[in-house]
Amino acid sequence: MLAPEGSGTGATVPVSGDLIFWGAFYNQPDRQLSGTYDISTDEIQFKSADYEFQGHFDSNTTRLTGQVTGTHTGVFDCVLNGLVTGIYSGGTWGKTGAPVSGGIAFMTTANHLVGGMVTRPSLQQGYLITGTIDDGDPLRAITAYGLSTDSLALGGYADSSVDTAGGWWEGIPDIGSGWWHVDRPVAGSTAYPTP
């Protein structure tokens, strides 16, 4: 259990857990994690044999975000497990008429959306995204934006009748705008994490 932001006494406590792969990496073996959490600053760092995570817990959004280095590098964005209402993974995004630019995945927590867009290695960039997903039957409007210095914006819809979502994006420098599509895997499948 992580402490509220900045409310601690300066103590550093050990943390541990498991890194479980799903989606495109579901066939990877699980890895044990260990590290430390600084109660006074809400800074956390943990690692496995081939990955290292450094991040910060924000009690206002109940999110843990940070950087990943190791076998694969990038960013991570987590929410507390009991708050997750949907996981959309294995998606792609790109520019119309061009090759796929990368992957997209996000989680929903009630009407909030958090996730990321990952680019092809040649593009050397990725984007944390945050936004909202409206109530609807079956279509739910999605509005999201990137957590970086550019003006990435996403829009679209999730269709709960077929567990899929998609739409458009714009504002990525040197790329412009395009489409995105992502599925919500069926519980119990190899692409869906088992609680």
pLDDT tens-digit profile of 23-44? 555 567 788 989 998 888 889 9
Instruction: Quote the CA–CA distance of 162 and 81 in Å, as a whole number.
Output: 24
* Tally of domains within the chain: 2
pTM reported for the whole predicted model: 0.68
- For residue 21, being part of any structural domain is answered with yes
Buried b (16+ CB within 10 A) or exposed e, 118-149: bbeeeeebbbbbbbebeeeeeebebebbbeee
Last residue of a domain, one of 21, 47, 80: 80
- For residue 124, being part of any structural domain is answered with yes
Last residue of a domain, one of 41, 57, 80: 80
Say whether both 64 and 118 belong to one domain.
no
Upstream peptide bond of 138 is cis (omega within 30 degrees of 0): yes
Say whether both 173 and 102 belong to one domain.
yes
Neighbours of 1 (CB within 10 A): 3
- For residue 5, being part of any structural domain is answered with no
**Long-range CB pairs of 116-120, under 8 A, 24+ apart, other chains included:** 116/74, 116/75, 116/77, 117/93, 117/146, 117/152, 117/169, 117/180, 118/74
Q: Counting Cβ atoms within 10 Å, is residue 117 exposed (0-12), middle (13-18) or buried (19+)?
A: buried
Instruction: Check residue 188 and give its pLDDT.
Output: 47
Say whether both 141 and 51 belong to one domain.
no
What are the tens digits of pLDDT across the range 31-90?
A: 898 999 888 888 999 999 888 999 988 776 677 888 888 877 777 777 776 677 788 887
How far, in Å, are 17, 35, 159 from residue 41 at the CA level?
21, 15, 40
Residues 66 and 54 sit within 8 Å (Cβ to Cβ): yes
Say whether both 35 and 102 belong to one domain.
no
What are the tens digits of pLDDT across the range 95-118?
A: 888 888 888 888 888 888 888 887
- For residue 188, being part of any structural domain is answered with no
- For residue 115, being part of any structural domain is answered with yes
Last residue of a domain, one of 80, 104, 119: 80
- For residue 93, being part of any structural domain is answered with yes
Instruction: Check residue 6 and give its pLDDT.
Output: 46
Say whether both 21 and 72 belong to one domain.
yes
- For residue 145, being part of any structural domain is answered with yes
Q: What is the CATH number of the domain that holds 106?
A: 2.40.128
Residues 60 and 42 sit within 8 Å (Cβ to Cβ): no
Say whether both 167 and 119 belong to one domain.
yes
Say whether both 29 and 100 belong to one domain.
no
Residue keyed to tokens 């990952």: 118
**Phi–psi pair at 122, nearest 5 degrees:** -65, -20
Residue 107 structural domain: 84-183
Say whether both 63 and 113 belong to one domain.
no
Say whether both 100 and 48 belong to one domain.
no
Say whether both 123 and 157 belong to one domain.
yes
